[in-house]
A and B are shown apart, each in its own frame.
Chain A
Amino acid sequence: MLILTRKVGQAIVIGEDIEIKILEIDDGQIKLGITAPKNISVLRKELIEIKDENLKAASVNKEALSKIENFIKKR
């Protein structure tokens, strides 16, 4: 992993046309400004994990759920 140190207002450039600028640092949070071509998707990493989780959830069937409901009821 390449590690760079930047200050507010400074930026890094990836390839020819992607720029990531440090806009603001406040209480452990960093605000980034990202300039990239339209065809490059920029996502918060959690969003990809949430998508995967939703895809898994969509295949849940009601038989599995009723099994769990029985399981809870027995207690």
Chain B
Amino acid sequence: MVIPIKPEYESEELIMQINTKNFGIIEYNPEDVIYFEEGIPGFEDLHIFLIITDNNEDMPFKWLQSIDNTDIAFAIIDPRVFKPDYTFEIDEELIQTLQIEDVNHLLIYVIVVIPDEIEKMTANLKAPIIINAKNNKGKQVILDNDEYLIKHPILEELKNAYSNA
């Protein structure tokens, strides 16, 4: 009689792999996947993403890499790096969607656009990406705040933030 041998380990971490256009092969733990139920505007079919850092840890930029379409990645940054007073109200709808229990669980990023003239890079402060790190649910929210621009120039503020650091 053959007795199946039980694996000695209880559970091995499951590692998945994707081959991305920008970063080649990325290995990730499925637990780290961030789920955007509604996708993001313009990419409503993309639901699962990873946040990755490409290079140097002290640099403020990260990437929101799509797993559904491995060609797509967005450069993102925590807006408080260059705009420490960045703030917004969280409405009931967002609390429901992301099942927010504690605002301290929230990660906040904005998407960066870099045109050919890099001096003109902008961040979309009007529509932050908000992630509940407790359950890895994310949503791009459109704020009801006229002060924050869709194309907010950031290079000067970033340079200031880094020269003061």
Binding site for B on A (CB under 8 A): 44, 46-47, 49-58, 60-62, 64-69, 71-73, 75
- Per-position binary interface string of chain B over residues 44-61, scored 1 when its CB falls under 8 Å from any chain A CB and 0 otherwise: 000000000011100101
Given contacts A44-B142, A71-B118, 15 further A-B contacts (CB under 8 A): A46-B127, A50-B126, A50-B140, A52-B42, A53-B151, A54-B41, A54-B140, A56-B113, A58-B43, A58-B74, A62-B63, A68-B118, A68-B155, A71-B155, A75-B159
Once bound together, how far apart are the Cα atoms of A57 and B54, in whole Å? Answer: 17
| A69 adjacent to B151 (CB under 8 Å) | no
Contact A53/B150 with A60-B112, A65-B75 known, Cβ cut-off 8 Å: yes
- We find that the number of chain B residues with CB closer than 8 angstroms to chain A is 34
| A54 adjacent to B158 (CB under 8 Å) | no
Picked from A54, A61, A64, A69, the residue with its CB within 8 Å of the CB of B59 is A69
Contact A68/B121 with A54-B41, A54-B74, A60-B75 known, Cβ cut-off 8 Å: yes
| B150 adjacent to A50 (CB under 8 Å) | yes
Contact A54/B40 with A60-B75, A69-B59 known, Cβ cut-off 8 Å: yes
User: Which residues of chain A have C-beta atoms less than 8 A from B159's C-beta?
Assistant: 71-72, 75
Chain B stretch 118-165: residues in CB contact (< 8 A) with chain A:
118, 121, 124, 126-127, 140, 142, 150-151, 155, 158-159, 162-163
Once bound together, how far apart are the Cα atoms of A54 and B142, in whole Å? Answer: 12
| A66 adjacent to B55 (CB under 8 Å) | yes
Picked from B54, B126, B155, the residue with its CB within 8 Å of the CB of A62 is B54
Shortest distance from the beta carbon of B10 to any chain A beta carbon, whole Å: 38
User: Which residues of chain B have C-beta atoms less than 8 A from A56's C-beta?
Assistant: 113
User: Which residues of chain A have C-beta atoms less than 8 A from B158's C-beta?
Assistant: 68, 72
Contact A60/B114 with A44-B142, A66-B55, A69-B61 known, Cβ cut-off 8 Å: yes
User: Which residues of chain A have C-beta atoms less than 8 A from B54's C-beta?
Assistant: 62, 65-66
Q: Is B67 an interface residue, CB under 8 A from the partner?
A: no
Q: Is B29 an interface residue, CB under 8 A from the partner?
A: no
Once bound together, how far apart are the Cα atoms of A68 and B162, in whole Å? Answer: 12
Shortest distance from the beta carbon of B115 to any chain A beta carbon, whole Å: 8
